[in-house]
Structure 1
Amino acid sequence: MVSTLLGLAAAAALLAGCAENGVVGQASSDGGDIVGSVMSPTKQPSAAGGARQGRDGGLTGTSLPSFDNAPLPSPVAARQIAGPYTNKSGAITGKLFFYRQGDQNSGNYYVCSGTVIKSRNRSLVWTAGHCVHDGKDGTWHSGMVFVPAFDNNDGDPNVDPSDLAQYAPLGTFSAVHVWTSPEWVKTGDEHGGDLAHDYAVIEVGRNDDGQTLDDAVEAAGAKPVPLWFNAPTGQDKTPSMTIRGYPAAEPFNGMAQWGCTADSVQLLNVTELGPDAKEYRAGCDLTGGASGGGWFARAPGQAAGDLSLITNTSVGSAHNAHGGNWLAGPYLDAKAKQLFTIADSSPAP
């Protein structure tokens, strides 16, 4: 199947850059390592030339997962979420800006999406692995900054990442630590790799007002969302989900939040990625730039109106002319929980 990756998506040069300063990790029970980068926030010069261009990074894949040849899900048209996003449902979703290797002085940048998740250090963002690291033989992205409730509806899509304040009603938050799965680092590439482990956690510093990320979103009336690991795997038990993000590839421009409500969500085996690999798939037509955005469902015991993060957007058909628009995200199992646990134990910024 020839499709377009949503990921390797996006990103962006930013005002407060982050230089890779080392690697942190913790051995897992099976001998693997949780891979992480320590970021040192530094001021970086503006790129040469005046114009900057945002990139969604959608790439044509040659062999995306078969999902055991399951029938395509029913299509769901995305709808634009009305701003401003400084409210309960909008503030937990944000836009991630970063450089990929070689982009710092090009005038170009990339973007992804992310979700503010409940944590002890009150500073964590959940996103896709390809939004923080290029994968096999690649490097960590640099200059990562997260903007919750980013809002530039009807504005110029080529924003200047050295001046994000006007689009950041809750402030901007530079990355200080980043973690992703060893599977993504070892196998990820521009055609996908191990998409079943395409997830990451970013710890961010405080905004210019001295607030932690959670402080800022709670001031807007929002609550960071808990993660729902090891959710039910029976098809009849898979809940409906709400999907959010900032799609930037056509026909979108990345300047507003869009979402889908998928009443029918598939949870499918992905045989190419191993016997235990599973991914969610839904018929949502968001495009590149939505990578890393959250999929939300109500977990057992949650109060009415409260939701949990069940996965992140990893890959999609991106308006495939051969039929069906869909997104897919990894099943968050014990390995994903271990990665979160490590990030959650990081000291507060």
Structure 2
Amino acid sequence: MRSPSTSFVAPGGRRRRRLLAATGLVAALALTATACGGSDEDTANGDPGAAASASGAADGGDKLQIPADLSDRLKEHGIDVDDWKDGGWKDWDKDKWLSEAKDFVNPVIEGLWKPERMMSAQEADKTMSVKDASAVQDVSDPEPAPVEAEAERTPYHENAAPVGKIFFDSPEGSMVCSGTVIKDVNHPGKSNLVWTAGHCVHAGAGGGWYRNIAFVPAYNDYGRSEADLTNANPQEIAPYGNWWADWAATSNGWIDGGSESGGAGAAYDYAVLHVKPEQGAKSLEETVGAALDVDFSAPAAAEAGQMGAWGYPAAPPYNGLKMFKCLDEPGRLSLDASLPTMYRIGCTMTGGSSGGGWFRVVDGETKLVSNTSIGPLDNTWLAGPQLGQDAQALYENMSETYGGQ
């Protein structure tokens, strides 16, 4: 679900970018992911904060209990968890579309995301119109030349294991985004954190949290066609299983300013999920065998060097079944003089690639530095937020408060 936009050309016209050799970044991301051994997930303690939100199942067992304070809040909205799991989540009445940061609820509905339901999920057709472009032309760099997206090598678990596909339900139906397994500084080797875009979890101003959010690492591991997936082994589609978001956090900038057109929230369009498996006890990082650090240094575009964007584009000419990547040197995109600038690279990926991680090599290590947020209607470039102190605070709060869940 990438929000496309009406593109504009900054003064000087279209800038031709030198296509860099892919060897360094691609080789660094080619992480062989062998499932590791380990103990059960840590038991968490800590209370929900303002930026992150809790969810869980009401039936106990190995599933999380909904915290009492959130359960009371749900009752205030007239929501019964059991009714929710029986289909009540399909009620998108404005009064029941929970929107505040602490209102997120996502109880596991085991078996909901069957392979055929995953394949039917669509990218959202959203547009962003760049208004008052003349006011930011002196800040934005010239529009980059398109970079043709390249299919990732299969199997994905050997070449880009931390990358996966995010599924969720919205008032418009089942939708898709992309995401990345990231490390948890407070739980080394046992992370359950996924990085994605804010608009993949929350509709922004005037809207609320999306529902039934699940992450599937290395989705369609062997890049099978739609016809081949009809009778595919479930392990080929979801080699590491389905992981439900039981906690979620996105920026106040996105919640307050995000819109179907990107809006003022685009520069803050990032989110962190804490996930748990439908079945099993090992952490996401142990199961996948790989996770990436996040680089919060927000380097200037001119100093960032080569970046690569990974994701599962779903709008034509793609169908959301295969993983693609683009490599380019970033430039600056300013949507408003009062907002932080965004990174922009040439890339032909379409809707569905939203939330997919942008990576760069720092001291020989591949790190996540941004995520896909917006792009033009003609699918020639992508833009993503710079991850600075606010993004780091969001991540640290998630790690410290909920990481051990």
**TM-score normalised by the shorter chain: which range applies?**
0.7 to 0.9
Match of 1:25 in 2: 49
CA distance in 2, matches of 1:158, 1:314: 31
Give 1:76 deviation, angstroms: 1.1
Change in CA separation of 1:27 and 1:84 when aligned onto 2, cut-off 3 Å: closer
CA distance in 1, matches of 2:248, 2:367: 22
Instruction: List aligned pairs for 1:28-43, cutoff 5 A.
Output: 37-43=104-110
Give 1:318 deviation, angstroms: 4.2
2:346 aligned with 1:283: yes
Match of 2:370 in 1: 311
Match of 1:145 in 2: 214
Give 1:208 deviation, angstroms: 2.4
In structure 2, give the amino acid aligned to 1:195: A
Change in CA separation of 1:204 and 1:27 when aligned onto 2, cut-off 3 Å: closer
SS at match of 2:277: coil
Give 1:154 deviation, angstroms: 3.8
Match of 1:13 in 2: none
CA distance in 2, matches of 1:256, 1:242: 17
SS at match of 1:287: coil
- Residue identity over aligned pairs, in percent, reads 34
**Is residue 285–residue 318 contact of structure 1 (8 Å, CA) maintained in 2?**
no
CA distance in 2, matches of 1:153, 1:27: 36
Change in CA separation of 1:45 and 1:84 when aligned onto 2, cut-off 3 Å: closer
Deviations 1:241-283 (A, max 9, x none): 1110000001111101100111x211344325x2x51200001
Change in CA separation of 1:205 and 1:268 when aligned onto 2, cut-off 3 Å: same
Give 1:84 deviation, angstroms: 0.9
Match of 1:337 in 2: 392
Give 1:240 deviation, angstroms: 0.5
Match of 1:266 in 2: 331
**Is residue 207–residue 213 contact of structure 1 (8 Å, CA) maintained in 2?**
no
Change in CA separation of 1:333 and 1:82 when aligned onto 2, cut-off 3 Å: same
1:131 to 200, 213, 221: 200
Change in CA separation of 1:39 and 1:230 when aligned onto 2, cut-off 3 Å: same
Instruction: List aligned pairs for 1:58-137, cutoff 5 A.
Output: 58-63=125-130, 66=133, 68=137, 69-87=140-158, 89-101=159-171, 103=173, 109-119=174-184, 120-121=186-187, 122-137=191-206
Q: Which sections of structure 1, spanning at least 5 residues, go unmatched?
A: 7-22, 104-108
Match of 1:348 in 2: 404
In structure 1, give the amino acid aligned to 2:343: Y
Change in CA separation of 1:290 and 1:229 when aligned onto 2, cut-off 3 Å: same
Change in CA separation of 1:226 and 1:27 when aligned onto 2, cut-off 3 Å: closer
Match of 2:4 in 1: 4
Change in CA separation of 1:343 and 1:65 when aligned onto 2, cut-off 3 Å: farther
1:293 to 322, 331, 356: 356
Change in CA separation of 1:177 and 1:50 when aligned onto 2, cut-off 3 Å: closer
CA distance in 2, matches of 1:335, 1:291: 20
Change in CA separation of 1:117 and 1:52 when aligned onto 2, cut-off 3 Å: closer
In structure 2, give the amino acid aligned to 1:348: G
Give 1:27 deviation, angstroms: 7.6
Give 1:215 deviation, angstroms: 0.7
Change in CA separation of 1:240 and 1:45 when aligned onto 2, cut-off 3 Å: closer
**Is residue 165–residue 179 contact of structure 2 (8 Å, CA) maintained in 1?**
yes
Give 1:165 deviation, angstroms: 5.0
In structure 2, give the amino acid aligned to 1:267: R
CA distance in 1, matches of 2:228, 2:260: 24
Change in CA separation of 1:4 and 1:64 when aligned onto 2, cut-off 3 Å: farther
**Is residue 51–residue 394 contact of structure 2 (8 Å, CA) maintained in 1?**
no
**Is residue 35–residue 181 contact of structure 1 (8 Å, CA) maintained in 2?**
no
Match of 1:169 in 2: 239
Report the aligned-residue RMSD: 3.1
**Is residue 240–residue 297 contact of structure 1 (8 Å, CA) maintained in 2?**
yes
Give 1:74 deviation, angstroms: 2.3
CA distance in 1, matches of 2:252, 2:124: 22
SS at match of 2:240: coil
Q: Which runs of 4+ in 1 moved over 6 A?
A: 44-47, 49-52, 157-160
Write 1 or 2 for the structure with the bigger share of helix. 2
Match of 1:9 in 2: none
Q: Alignment length, in residue pairs? A: 302
Match of 1:237 in 2: 303
CA distance in 1, matches of 2:336, 2:246: 36
